[in-house]
Structure 1
Amino acid sequence: MSTGWRLTQYALNYKKIIIAALFMLSISVATDLAGPFIAKNIIDEHILGIESIWYQTTEGKNTAEYNEQFYKKEKNFSNGEEQGKEIRILQVGAKFVMVEDKLEFDGKRTFENGVITLQKGTEKVEYDAKELTTRELMAFYQLEIPGIMKLLIIYFCLLVISAIFQYGQRFLLQKSANRIIQKMREDVYGQIQRLPIQYFDNLPAGKVVARVTNDTEAIRELYVTVLAQFFTSAIYITGIYAALFILDVKLAAICLLLLPILYGWMLLYRKFASKYNHVIRSRISDINATINESIGGMSIIQAFRREKETEKEFEKLNTEHFTFQNKLLSLNALTSHNLVGVLRNLVFVAFIWYFGGQSLNPSSVISLGVLYAFVDYINRLFQPVQGIVNQLANLETALVAGERVFKLMDEQGENVSTERIERFQGNVEFDHVYFGYKEGEYVLKDIHFEAKQGQTVALVGHTGSGKSSIMNLLFRFYDCQKGKILIDGKDIVSIPRQTIRNHMGIVLQDPYLFTGTIASNVSLNEQSITREMVEKALKDVGADQVFKNLENGYDEPVIEKGSTLSSGQRQLISFARALAFNPAILILDEATSSIDTETEAIIQEAMDVLKKGRTTFIIAHRLSTIRNADLILVLDRGKIVERGTHEELMLVNGKYYQLYELQKGCAELTG
């Protein structure tokens, strides 16, 4: 499915608002385009209408007095009304003269010594004529003033209507655009929740943020500006062509050549602009990722004096972005306004050629009003054309941004399940499990063990031995390639991920805190967890001793990642969070490795409370913290090489014994 069609589908969610906007736009355009027709009538019927045929009549409505006689325009006579002597009023230069004869034809006019000469080609006729004074002329013109005022009032009313409906259509289009982008951002963010953890292993957070913010904002411009301009222009162009065909079919047909030229230009423009925009959007994403990474690692950057090097990396990306922005700018500058200018000049050449040819044809008479209307409509025609051309850059940017957003939304995810099951008993079994982050490269090989309800299982081994991978599989952050994992005898693959995690808790080595308060970070704003439960959880893990001196207590503000708190304080909050959710299975992933000795003592005292009634998995480098574990699994290169209690493993005098003695020796040396 194309990007354009998918963007259209989003728009169709709010089709009622968009249809209402287009209806208002149509009315606005129709009332606006009526202007030249009204101007044509004012010129032809009223300003130049004085040159119509006049007949002598009796005094009455629509009559003008001249030399004590009354005259009325031919069109103002009713059926059966008697017409007297015919007269004509002709303009010659700045003068107006009266001819009391019927004209054979009209043509080039000259007036001298009371005689007006009309010449058309080789033909020439002369008539006696009398020059009219200003007062005499105004007697005839006064009849036109009511008609002119009526048309001007109509024109003003149409302008007011056009302005009202123009405001309405802009408001509705922008409202629909904002709603479309609101829904799109919600869908994108919802898709992020559906994506597996593995997806984020390969995509920096800054790039994801760029798609949710920058790219969707670029798409917003599509709905707010680009489509509004395209809709407006399309209706304007349709209306103008309709008016041109009413005025003159041949010239309107010549103007139709603009449409294939404009379409061809759009195809050519997109060919180059698409390439530039892909690079620009990609570099924006890279810049966001770099900034995000730099801010997160600013302490390391400054500690190791890498400010200049980091700045150079950023400058490289920024320069590439600048280069392609300039290429796109050059493309727009060289073509957009120039193209419209060339097209306008071509149309005016065709216009002058056409009307010039018409004027040489004796049988053709072109009124000044028609001439004015054509010039006005042709000028108006290039306003929407200019608008379309100017929005091509934004259109291409939005399509590229849409392509990037939909690529994220097309990633295979899993719907967030709201299904709930009864609390686990906590019996866990790994049945000959094989797993690798990359296909064919197993980091866990033939893992097989059982953890009974209420037992504590410890996982030990060197870095990279597979300890954390086992926990990733249990939490279904990843799924194993071979074997199966059972909880209470049920294969976890048959249970939705969110349903499994509803009865599991985890404490990571580097706990993550959200912006809020200490209390909100414990409950994570879960409505089922009351304030009393939060305070009890904090007390049970010994946090009341650590946070008792804080000014706001458990309502102390926490900024992003809890950077104002110590490692120990953050870890205590993480322990309390796991306890407050009352999980059946608890995972402690090197949870005490970054805690000072005093805080570790507090946590060790709370460990018995945490483990009661729960199956607990502990990943620890400090072997002293797992001496009381019911089962210790020793991993080496993805395999379980030893298993048993602390005492049993010490008697084996194997890998666990070596690790324990090594740590014990190091502790004595540091002591």
Structure 2
Amino acid sequence: MRKEEKSGQIFDIQILQRIYSFLTPYRLRFWSLVVIIMVSACVVPLNPLLIRHTIDNYIVAGNYPMLANMLLLMIGVLLLQGFLQFVSAYMAGWLGQTVIRDIRVQLYEKILSLRLKFFDDTPIGRLVTRTVSDIETLNDVFSEGLAAIAGDILQLVLITGVMFWTDWRLTLLCLCTVPFMVISTYFFKEYIKKSFNEVRLAVANLNSFVQEHITGMNIVQIFNSEKLEYDKFIKINEVHRDAHIRSIWAYSVYFPLADVILAAGTGLIVWFGSKQILTHDMTLGTLTAFIMFMNLFFRPIRFLADRFNTLQMGIVSTERIIKLLESNEYVVNNGTFKADKLKGNVRFENVWFAYNDEEYVLKDISFEVKQGETIALVGATGAGKSSTINLLSRFYEINKGKIFVDDVDLQDYELNSLRSKIGVVLQDVFLFSDTIENNITLGDKSITREKIIEAAKLVGAHDFIERLPDGYDYNVMERGATLSVGQRQLISFVRALVHDPKVIVLDEATSSVDTETEEMIQNAISKLMKGRTAIVIAHRLSTIQNAHKILVLDKGEIKEEGTHDELLEKDGWYASLHKMQFVTA
């Protein structure tokens, strides 16, 4: 499994600026949150000061009427502090969830625009991790990171200042324990950073494994590999568990250690302060206030380590998200020419194409198909047939040469407009877990039920759809699992037809169906092709005998071209393929 990227730096200014840019639509709310957190930090030291004043001036003096007033004042301060904490927690949570909603939409929109080559090289589970887990980490940055860190630092500075103002001797005694806390916090931060990286890598690997193997469960069961895959999953899951346990161990050590340091500091203050009280050099109120100050002083130090790790994990996640958002693995859609009046004349001129640099799968391909004609591509597996039609819809970009549609360079077409006029029927039909109607229209509200039924009748799919429970509202489940291969193929024909394309591409469209279904599809194809340009890829040569032109491809090159009869007369590549398919024992 691939390893994740290295950790980011907390003070990576560019990444922090990018994180802040996500807040741009909500800057007013963000800065309001910062102000509220700052005010809350200023309120925190008030209660210890009020308690000191109450003990020294009213409790010791026995002034009970004023004691009641001070009690009401302290309750008011506590209520104010609680209200500010409520508002800041709610605003931080709202801000975090709203921002990650926006980022997730941006990220998914980006994924939709990426070219197919990107998905060839990137595991789907890793994209799921980016879209779900990494973005969720950013929620922690906004709810517990940026603003909270500022509040903790301000609280630390304010309490330190108030402590020095109250009694500098006790403050220095308190600060003696700070190096121990800082050292333990540093080691905790470094350890937890490492363990968090391991957790995120384990999560990404676990997502990839589960997604891949559930999708391919039929292969696992066909080859009786359940036990083997189960053992693999146990190992990956153990790595995931161990990574989490290491982070739990760090928390289990750090926070009790921090409590011990706090207790030691409190003990020092009580020991020194008690001596000063006995010599009348310090008041009881001052000592009591300092015990409270100790808790308030060490609390932000303990939380800062956790918050810095949250921020650092957010920076790591942001780097990954930005890398995906700024990926140039997308089809450049700079064309402005609309395909509204597309006729369907297609011309390839000296086209070269490679999935990987210099490993060409298409070599100097040139051919032309005119409006209303049918051209067939045949050849062995890997000859370059599917690559040819993928280029027509610009799923991949050519390396050299030109492709023209109606004498307009393919690059000059507006991409969505071009693809709306090209209907594609693939061998491996993908259906979403949704109704048959929605799988046909793909959410296009302009396509009416009447149009769907008309297309289904033309293809021959209407009868079997009507026999299903709920008919066109029947949910086909994930990947169309409740339908046969032939039924899924027929639905894909309806899907292509209702969008009224000018160019029809059939990629092994009948190779996975039985003879009866194939005959039905062939009858539908003859009607479907009328007035439309058709590019057909087929292993079954019987399905393309009436094509206007047949191209024979081998290793990315055109070896022969002509009609069915012309190629048989040549007694070459096509004739050999024909003999292999039609010679009977």
2:217 aligned to which of 298, 304, 320: 298
Matches for 1:288-327 after TM superposition, within 5 Å: 288-327=207-246
**Alignment partner of 2:552: what SS?**
strand
Supply the distance in 1 between the matched residues of 2:512 and 2:295 (Cα, whole angstroms): 74
Q: Give CA deviations for 1:506-534 in whole Å, capped at 9, x if unaligned.
A: 00001111121111111111122222222
2:403 aligned to which of 451, 476, 485: 485
Supply the distance in 2 between the matched residues of 1:252 and 1:459 (Cα, whole angstroms): 85
Q: Give CA deviations for 1:321-375 in whole Å, capped at 9, x if unaligned.
A: 233333333333333442x235425644764687589679x8x832222222122
Task: Find the counterpart in structure 2 of residue 433 from structure 1.
Answer: 351
Task: Find the counterpart in structure 2 of residue 39 from structure 1.
Answer: 51
Supply the distance in 1 between the matched residues of 2:253 and 2:340 (Cα, whole angstroms): 68
Supply the distance in 1 between the matched residues of 2:25 and 2:331 (Cα, whole angstroms): 21
1:387 aligned to which of 288, 303, 312: 303
2:283 aligned to which of 361, 367, 380: 367
Supply the distance in 2 between the matched residues of 1:158 and 1:343 (Cα, whole angstroms): 29
Q: How far off its partner does 1:616 sit? A: 0.8
CA contact (8 A) 1:245 1:252 kept: yes
The one-letter code matched in structure 2 to 1:319 is E
Distance 1:300 1:526, change over 3 A: same
Q: How far off its partner does 1:406 sit? A: 2.8
Q: TM-score, normalised by structure 2?
A: 0.90
Q: Give CA deviations for 1:437-490 in whole Å, capped at 9, x if unaligned.
A: 111111111101111111111000000000001011111111111111111122
**Alignment partner of 2:467: what SS?**
coil
2:559 aligned to which of 619, 624, 641: 641
Of the structure 1 ranges 408-417 and 301-310, higher mean CA displacement relative to structure 2 is found in: 408-417
Q: How far off its partner does 1:502 sit? A: 2.1
Of the structure 1 ranges 25-34 and 459-468, higher mean CA displacement relative to structure 2 is found in: 25-34
Distance 1:467 1:251, change over 3 A: same
2:364 matched to 1:446? yes
CA contact (8 A) 1:181 1:220 kept: yes
Supply the distance in 1 between the matched residues of 2:68 and 2:466 (Cα, whole angstroms): 84
Of the structure 1 ranges 302-311 and 540-549, higher mean CA displacement relative to structure 2 is found in: 540-549
Supply the distance in 2 between the matched residues of 1:33 and 1:586 (Cα, whole angstroms): 74
Supply the distance in 1 between the matched residues of 2:202 and 2:40 (Cα, whole angstroms): 41
2:92 matched to 1:173? yes
CA contact (8 A) 1:27 1:162 kept: no
Task: Find the counterpart in structure 2 of residue 191 from structure 1.
Answer: 110
Q: Give CA deviations for 1:580-625 in whole Å, capped at 9, x if unaligned.
A: 1111111110011001111111111111221122211000001100
Q: How far off its partner does 1:639 sit? A: 0.2
Q: Give CA deviations for 1:32-83 in whole Å, capped at 9, x if unaligned.
A: 43111111111111122x3xxxxxxxxxxxxxxxxxxxxxxxxxxxxxxxxx
- Aligned-residue CA RMSD (Å): 2.7
Matches for 1:454-493 after TM superposition, within 5 Å: 454-493=372-411
2:378 matched to 1:378? no
Supply the distance in 1 between the matched residues of 2:197 and 2:55 (Cα, whole angstroms): 54
Q: TM-score, normalised by structure 1?
A: 0.79
Task: Find the counterpart in structure 2 of residue 617 from structure 1.
Answer: 535
Q: How far off its partner does 1:402 sit? A: 3.2
Q: How far off its partner does 1:265 sit? A: 5.8
Supply the distance in 1 between the matched residues of 2:177 and 2:548 (Cα, whole angstroms): 83
Q: How far off its partner does 1:640 sit? A: 0.2
CA contact (8 A) 1:193 1:416 kept: no
**Alignment partner of 2:247: what SS?**
helix
How many residues are aligned here?
Answer: 571
Task: Find the counterpart in structure 1 of residue 522 from structure 2.
Answer: 604
**Alignment partner of 2:224: what SS?**
coil
Of the structure 1 ranges 31-40 and 10-19, higher mean CA displacement relative to structure 2 is found in: 10-19
CA contact (8 A) 2:116 2:395 kept: yes
The one-letter code matched in structure 2 to 1:385 is I
CA contact (8 A) 1:26 1:235 kept: yes
Supply the distance in 2 between the matched residues of 1:646 and 1:507 (Cα, whole angstroms): 23
Supply the distance in 2 between the matched residues of 1:486 and 1:558 (Cα, whole angstroms): 38
Supply the distance in 2 between the matched residues of 1:287 and 1:246 (Cα, whole angstroms): 54
CA contact (8 A) 1:332 1:393 kept: no
Supply the distance in 1 between the matched residues of 2:228 and 2:143 (Cα, whole angstroms): 41
The one-letter code matched in structure 2 to 1:151 is M
Matches for 1:449-598 after TM superposition, within 5 Å: 449-598=367-516
1:22 aligned to which of 19, 34, 48: 34
1:7 aligned to which of 19, 24, 27: 19
Matches for 1:114-263 after TM superposition, within 5 Å: 141=62, 144-227=63-146, 229-249=148-168, 251-252=170-171
**Alignment partner of 1:516: what SS?**
coil
Q: How far off its partner does 1:644 sit? A: 0.7
Q: How far off its partner does 1:627 sit? A: 0.7
Distance 1:260 1:541, change over 3 A: farther
CA contact (8 A) 2:568 2:575 kept: yes
Q: Give CA deviations for 1:185-237 in whole Å, capped at 9, x if unaligned.
A: 11211121121110110112122112211222233233334456534433432
**Alignment partner of 2:363: what SS?**
strand
**Alignment partner of 2:386: what SS?**
helix
**Alignment partner of 1:621: what SS?**
coil
Bigger strand fraction: 1
Distance 1:538 1:266, change over 3 A: farther
**Alignment partner of 2:531: what SS?**
coil
Supply the distance in 2 between the matched residues of 1:511 and 1:470 (Cα, whole angstroms): 19
CA contact (8 A) 1:459 1:633 kept: yes
Supply the distance in 2 between the matched residues of 1:422 and 1:259 (Cα, whole angstroms): 73
Supply the distance in 1 between the matched residues of 2:548 and 2:175 (Cα, whole angstroms): 86
Supply the distance in 2 between the matched residues of 1:598 and 1:312 (Cα, whole angstroms): 44
Supply the distance in 2 between the matched residues of 1:259 and 1:7 (Cα, whole angstroms): 32
Of the structure 1 ranges 395-404 and 275-284, higher mean CA displacement relative to structure 2 is found in: 395-404
**Alignment partner of 1:558: what SS?**
coil
CA contact (8 A) 1:273 1:396 kept: no
Distance 1:264 1:197, change over 3 A: farther
Supply the distance in 1 between the matched residues of 2:500 and 2:181 (Cα, whole angstroms): 66
Distance 1:644 1:415, change over 3 A: closer
**Alignment partner of 2:505: what SS?**
strand
Gaps of 5+ in 1: 51-140
Supply the distance in 1 between the matched residues of 2:506 and 2:565 (Cα, whole angstroms): 22
Task: Find the counterpart in structure 1 of residue 570 from structure 2.
Answer: 652
2:249 matched to 1:330? yes
Supply the distance in 1 between the matched residues of 2:299 and 2:532 (Cα, whole angstroms): 73
CA contact (8 A) 2:41 2:152 kept: no
